[in-house]
């Protein structure tokens, strides 16, 4: 399990605890902030080298949204982002308030399996 996956799991666990309890403690809030600070240091969440105001994960997602799969795979490798971390980024970052949220439905299990396979082939 990657560092990014662990951080997202920790945040999700805290959010579920808060929802279950119906309130948030100061300690919970600080822990979420600490986890998010570490999460935003992960490659998917870093600023894009090529697109101003965009995150590396968003840049890659945009390539996938425009059927530029090979270019997206190339960027995964360039930015040293694994498919696992990229799709974790998608699940965390693209919520109902994100303008591109409706597009993430394209990331089906079959699509993800295909990306994993192409990523491995390109690394070989």
Same domain, 21 and 64: no
Q: Which residues pair with 47 in a beta bridge?
A: 55
Q: What is the pLDDT of residue 96?
A: 74
Same domain, 36 and 84: no
Predicted TM-score (pTM) of the model is 0.88
pLDDT tens for the chain, 124 residues: list them. 899 999 999 999 999 999 999 999 999 999 999 999 999 999 999 999 877 669 999 999 999 999 999 999 999 999 999 999 999 999 999 877 777 878 889 999 999 999 999 999 999 8
Answer for the pair 112, 118: CB distance below 8 angstroms, yes or no: no
Answer for the pair 87, 44: CB distance below 8 angstroms, yes or no: no
Same domain, 18 and 51: no
The count of other CB atoms within 10 Å of the CB of residue 73 is 20
Same domain, 66 and 37: no
Answer for the pair 36, 11: CB distance below 8 angstroms, yes or no: yes
Same domain, 58 and 102: yes
Q: What is the pLDDT of residue 100?
A: 80
d(CA 2, CA 41) in angstroms, rounded, equals 13
Q: What is the pLDDT of residue 115?
A: 98
Q: What is the pLDDT of residue 51?
A: 74
Same domain, 77 and 109: yes
Q: What share of the chain is helix, strand, coil (3-state, %, to 5)?
A: 70, 0, 25
**Which residue range forms the structural domain that includes residue 6?**
1-41
Number of domains forming the structure of the chain: 2
Same domain, 34 and 59: no
Same domain, 116 and 87: yes
Q: What is the pLDDT of residue 98?
A: 78
Same domain, 58 and 114: yes
Same domain, 85 and 124: yes
């Amino acid at each position: 399990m990657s560092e990014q996956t662990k951080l997202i799991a920790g945040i999700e666990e805290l959010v579920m605890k808060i929802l279950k309890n119906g309130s948030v403690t100061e300690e919970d809030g600080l822990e979420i902030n600490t986890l998010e600070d570490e999460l935003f240091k992960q490659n998917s969440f870093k600023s894009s080298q090529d697109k101003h105001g965009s995150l590396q994960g968003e840049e890659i997602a945009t390539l996938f949204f425009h059927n530029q799969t090979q270019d997206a795979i190339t960027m995964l490798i360039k930015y040293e982002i694994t498919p696992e971390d990229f799709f974790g980024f998608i699940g965390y970052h693209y919520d109902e308030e994100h303008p591109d949220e409706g597009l993430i439905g394209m990331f089906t299990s079959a699509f993800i399996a295909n990306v994993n396979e192409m990523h491995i082939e390109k690394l070989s």
